[in-house]
Structure 1
Amino acid sequence: MSKFDVAVIGSGPGGYVAAIRCAQLGLKTAIIEKYSTLGGTCLNVGCIPSKALLDSSHHYHDAVAHFEEHGIEISGDVKVNLEQMMSRKEKVVNQTCDGVKFLMDKNKIEVFQGVGSFKDTTHINIEDSEGKTQTIEAAKTIIATGSKPSSLPFIDLDKERIITSTEALKLKEIPKHLIVIGGGVIGLELGQVYKRLGADVTVVEYMDRIIPTMDSACSKELTKILKKQKVKIATSHKVSAVTRDGDKITVKATDKKDKEVSFEGDYVLVSVGRKAYTDGLNLDAVKIKADDRGRVEVNEHLQTNVENIYAIGDVVKGAMLAHKAEEEGVFVAETIAGQKPHINYNLIPGVVYTWPEVAAVGKTEEELKEEGIKYKSGQFPMRALGRSRASGDIDGMVKILADETTDEVLGVHMVGARVADLIAEAVTAMEFRASAEDIARMSHAHPTYAEAVKEAALAATEDRPLHI
């Protein structure tokens, strides 16, 4: 029987990063993955393929809508080759997954293909695709089995026309009318992919605004932008039924006045969040506790109620973000090695990869009000930047929230070109507890999108932005 210091169940960003860090710290490490490729949801059917399609569809949209104004003339019709677009996406996914396999080999991490389940607290059974089982021994185990798409109890997901994000990433045709149930990150990103490619898109959201967990200024700005892009948005709508008649899908919902309305399309994307995935782990065998939402319960050290078993990522509480899982993977590896790591969950950024992008870190204005914290707010529009005008990406803004007394930055919220990358400046500043004035006094290269951060900081500090 193979013996290991650490076994990691699940090879998504949390799991494979945890395994790498364990190996770096001198621990003999195994990783167990039930699918034939490494990388988990993020690399196979999540972050990576969706961004590949977002980029491809963005190129097409630019060619159709913006090339002419840049002086680029294309003779003949610009056409979408969806098969090639999907083929490129798969190539990106395969390269990325192969990269994880390379990292496992490089760090001498033993990979086991199969479903890992607890035999007891130190032994894990691994059943492969042919039904053969082997058992390994591990002094410590890290559960990193991630999440899967949620649905609504009355929806029959046929995975043909009533689909989740997994199926939306491999459609063989462009929908005529895609109805998206859920105005969160995944629904908006995939909705925009198919809108760019020619589909009509309607987003039906239960809450009173899209991206409801983010600052309302971001919701307002993105709503305005998406409507300008001809995406239909129906907020405060509670979906009550989804039915299929051949190629026609009907979604029934009640609006905020309790009036029943119907939406008809040929595809429905159900994007109402994700839920922890623990199927097959046999948690009962080791009496590991889960909460009422199926998430594995952990303490501040990400340790379960079983001392030598830890859990990270989507399978535990908190934001379901790949980079959050990675931080937790490193945290647990270093904890096992006897170090004293730390994670500041308030400073884990969130991003929506629509175009323009949305990014945020720290407290929202709504949270500060609810907590009774007095604050200042400074906001600056992207359209006032020379770089934005040069690229044609004038939509969006940067908003900085700072403590009214100390001027410490409490939250940064952005909508605009490349803000997914730009948010790292805010994370860095807040990690070192910078004030708005600190950011305002730092030199920002001109012309860049980053100048909006400096200007918003000036607005928050003394209400004195330079360029508006």
Structure 2
Amino acid sequence: MTTYDVAIIGSGPGGYVAAIRCAQLGMKTALIEKYNTLGGTCLNVGCIPSKALLDSSHHYEDAMKHFAEHGIEIPGEIKLNFKKMIERKQAVVDQTTKGIEFLMSKNKVDVFTGTGTFKDATHVVIASEKENKEIEAKNIIIATGSKPSTLPFITIDKDRIITSTEALTLKEVPKHMIVIGGGVIGLELGQVYRRLGAEVSVVEYMDRIIPTMDGAQSKELMKVMKKQGVKFYVSHKVSAVERKKNEVTVTATDKKGNEVQFTGDYCLVSVGRRPYTDGLKLENAGVKVNERGQVEVNDHLQTNVSNIYAIGDVIRGAMLAHKAEEEGVLVAEILAGQKPHIDYNLIPGVVYTWPEVASVGKTEEELKDAGISYKSGQFPMRALGRSRASGDIDGFVKILADAKTDEVLGVHMVGARVADLISEAVTAMEYRASAEDISRMSHAHPTYAEAVKEAALAATENRPLHI
């Protein structure tokens, strides 16, 4: 039996990054993955394929609606080859997962394909179709991620009533896709299929979409997506989802108590995700989970069993690939005797619709609830020369700063490329910058980033230059 310094169960962004960092720090490392490809949900059926479809559908929409205004004339009819679009998405996935295989080989990480199950706190049995193997590890990291959630009365048939996984491999563009849930996944995939010609109806239980983000972002994104043709039904509680042949009917109750029905050919259930620990047999190692199914960990991401750690979607906190990566590095460095840290307040959140939505730090609602005195500065993207040049004039940048110290407490953006732009805010907040600090930094012209400087000027002295 081979003995490892660390064994990692799950090869998503948290698991494979933890494996790389452990190997870099000189540990003999094993990575266990139940599926035939590495990368977990994110690379196979999440972040990467959804972004590939978002980009492809964006190009299609531009060709259909915006090329002419740029003086680009395409002779003949523009046609959608949906099969080719799905094939390209898969090619991107395949290339990315092969890249992870290369990184494992480069860093001399031993990869095992099969389902990892705890025999006890230091032994893992790996069951595959061919054989069962057993390895020993001084330390074990649980990085098994999450799976799509559903509602108790919904039967996911993976054909017409689907999750995000199936939405990435459809054989046709829906005529009418009903999306249950106005969060990140539902909005991103809803926008993909709206661009490709589907009617899209988003049914959301809360009174606004992306309810965990700043209220101004929810309002702006809904306004823009309504212009794009997406229909929204907020404050609607779904009570039934039924399929008859190729027709799906969703029944919901609105805020006035009236029953409403929606009929379409596909229903995307995107009501969140749940921690995935099925088959791990955590009880054999004595590892505790809480009432939400999350593996319980302390501030060092250590479970109640001292040599077993857990990271990513399987523990508390936002279910974000980059959060899992940071946690994977943190555990590896703790095992190496270092003293790393993560500031969870500074992990950004992004919605990859167009316009994109990005946030870091506290929302305005959170500051109000906490009784923190703050000031706000906001700048519209349409006032930027770069936005007008590209035609991406929707959105804004909002900076929230402490009323007394001027320290930046939160930054919230909607607009073109804000998924990349949010890193400026993360950097500034990591060094506890004030709004004035940002306002005095030179920003290249013409860029979308100028909106950050202008919002900082608005927060500092209410003196933006270009409005």
TM bin, normalised by shorter chain, reads: over 0.9
Secondary structure of the structure 2 residue equivalent to 1:236: coil
Aligned residue in 2 for 1:208: 207
Equivalent runs, 1:362-441 vs 2, <5 Å = 362-441=361-440
Give the aligned residue type for 2:25.
Answer: L
Aligned residue in 2 for 1:98: 98
Aligned residue in 2 for 1:302: 301
CA distance in structure 2 between the partners assigned to 1:350 and 1:77 by the alignment: 39
Tell me how far 1:287 sits from its aligned partner.
Answer: 1.3
CA distance in structure 2 between the partners assigned to 1:129 and 1:379 by the alignment: 57
Secondary structure of the structure 2 residue equivalent to 1:272: coil
Q: Is the 8 A contact 2:138 2:307 kept in 1?
A: yes
Aligned residue in 2 for 1:76: 76
Aligned: 1:240 with 2:245? no
Aligned residue in 1 for 2:107: 107
Would you identify which runs of 4 or more consecutive aligned residues in structure 1 move more than 3 Å?
none
Alpha-carbon displacement from aligned partner over 1:4-55 (angstroms, at most 9, x marks no partner): 0000000000000000000000000000000000000000000000000000
Secondary structure of the structure 1 residue equivalent to 2:207: coil
CA distance in structure 1 between the partners assigned to 2:65 and 2:254 by the alignment: 34
CA distance in structure 1 between the partners assigned to 2:402 and 2:181 by the alignment: 33
CA distance in structure 1 between the partners assigned to 2:324 and 2:354 by the alignment: 25
Secondary structure of the structure 2 residue equivalent to 1:98: helix
Aligned residue in 2 for 1:458: 457
Secondary structure of the structure 2 residue equivalent to 1:278: coil
Tell me how far 1:330 sits from its aligned partner.
Answer: 0.1
Secondary structure of the structure 2 residue equivalent to 1:50: helix
Tell me how far 1:75 sits from its aligned partner.
Answer: 1.0
Aligned: 1:167 with 2:166? yes
Tell me how far 1:424 sits from its aligned partner.
Answer: 0.2
CA distance in structure 1 between the partners assigned to 2:287 and 2:80 by the alignment: 50
Aligned residue in 1 for 2:291: 292
Tell me how far 1:61 sits from its aligned partner.
Answer: 0.2
Q: Is the 8 A contact 2:201 2:232 kept in 1?
A: yes
Alpha-carbon displacement from aligned partner over 1:445-464 (angstroms, at most 9, x marks no partner): 00000000000000000000
CA distance in structure 1 between the partners assigned to 2:359 and 2:285 by the alignment: 39
Give the aligned residue type for 1:117.
Answer: T
CA distance in structure 2 between the partners assigned to 1:134 and 1:174 by the alignment: 43
CA distance in structure 2 between the partners assigned to 1:214 and 1:352 by the alignment: 10
Equivalent runs, 1:75-154 vs 2, <5 Å = 75-130=75-130, 132-154=131-153
Give the aligned residue type for 1:112.
Answer: F
CA distance in structure 1 between the partners assigned to 2:249 and 2:118 by the alignment: 43
Secondary structure of the structure 1 residue equivalent to 2:442: coil
- Computed over aligned residues only, the root mean square deviation of the Cα atoms, in angstroms, reads 0.4
Give the aligned residue type for 1:78.
Answer: I
CA distance in structure 2 between the partners assigned to 1:142 and 1:301 by the alignment: 12
Q: Is the 8 A contact 2:121 2:286 kept in 1?
A: no
Secondary structure of the structure 2 residue equivalent to 1:137: strand
Give the aligned residue type for 1:217.
Answer: A
Secondary structure of the structure 2 residue equivalent to 1:444: coil
CA distance in structure 2 between the partners assigned to 1:378 and 1:44 by the alignment: 39
CA distance in structure 2 between the partners assigned to 1:255 and 1:402 by the alignment: 37
Q: Is the 8 A contact 2:179 2:270 kept in 1?
A: yes
Secondary structure of the structure 1 residue equivalent to 2:15: helix
Equivalent runs, 1:332-351 vs 2, <5 Å = 332-351=331-350
Give the aligned residue type for 1:29.
Answer: T
CA distance in structure 2 between the partners assigned to 1:136 and 1:176 by the alignment: 50
CA distance in structure 1 between the partners assigned to 2:272 and 2:303 by the alignment: 24
Return the TM-score normalized by structure 2.
1.00
CA distance in structure 1 between the partners assigned to 2:144 and 2:221 by the alignment: 32
Aligned residue in 1 for 2:21: 21
Secondary structure of the structure 2 residue equivalent to 1:120: coil
Secondary structure of the structure 2 residue equivalent to 1:304: coil
Alpha-carbon displacement from aligned partner over 1:63-85 (angstroms, at most 9, x marks no partner): 00000000000111111101100
Q: Is the 8 A contact 2:162 2:268 kept in 1?
A: yes
Secondary structure of the structure 1 residue equivalent to 2:410: strand
CA distance in structure 2 between the partners assigned to 1:291 and 1:22 by the alignment: 28
Alpha-carbon displacement from aligned partner over 1:104-162 (angstroms, at most 9, x marks no partner): 000000000000011011110000123x2110000000000000000000001010000
Secondary structure of the structure 1 residue equivalent to 2:174: coil
Secondary structure of the structure 2 residue equivalent to 1:263: strand
CA distance in structure 2 between the partners assigned to 1:187 and 1:102 by the alignment: 33
CA distance in structure 1 between the partners assigned to 2:226 and 2:155 by the alignment: 29
CA distance in structure 2 between the partners assigned to 1:139 and 1:165 by the alignment: 37
CA distance in structure 2 between the partners assigned to 1:458 and 1:440 by the alignment: 5
CA distance in structure 2 between the partners assigned to 1:250 and 1:166 by the alignment: 21
Aligned residue in 2 for 1:36: 36
CA distance in structure 1 between the partners assigned to 2:191 and 2:275 by the alignment: 26
Instruction: Give the gaps of 5 or more residues in structure 2.
Output: none
Q: Is the 8 A contact 2:31 2:111 kept in 1?
A: yes
CA distance in structure 1 between the partners assigned to 2:196 and 2:229 by the alignment: 13
Secondary structure of the structure 2 residue equivalent to 1:117: strand
Give the aligned residue type for 1:242.
Answer: V
Alpha-carbon displacement from aligned partner over 1:411-453 (angstroms, at most 9, x marks no partner): 0000000000000000000000000000000000000000000
CA distance in structure 2 between the partners assigned to 1:32 and 1:248 by the alignment: 41
Aligned residue in 2 for 1:199: 198
Instruction: Give the gaps of 5 or more residues in structure 1.
Output: none
Aligned residue in 1 for 2:57: 57
CA distance in structure 2 between the partners assigned to 1:314 and 1:414 by the alignment: 25
Overall identity of the aligned pairs, in %: 77
Alpha-carbon displacement from aligned partner over 1:325-367 (angstroms, at most 9, x marks no partner): 0000000000011000000000000000000000000000000
Aligned: 1:280 with 2:279? yes
Secondary structure of the structure 1 residue equivalent to 2:119: strand
Aligned residue in 2 for 1:186: 185
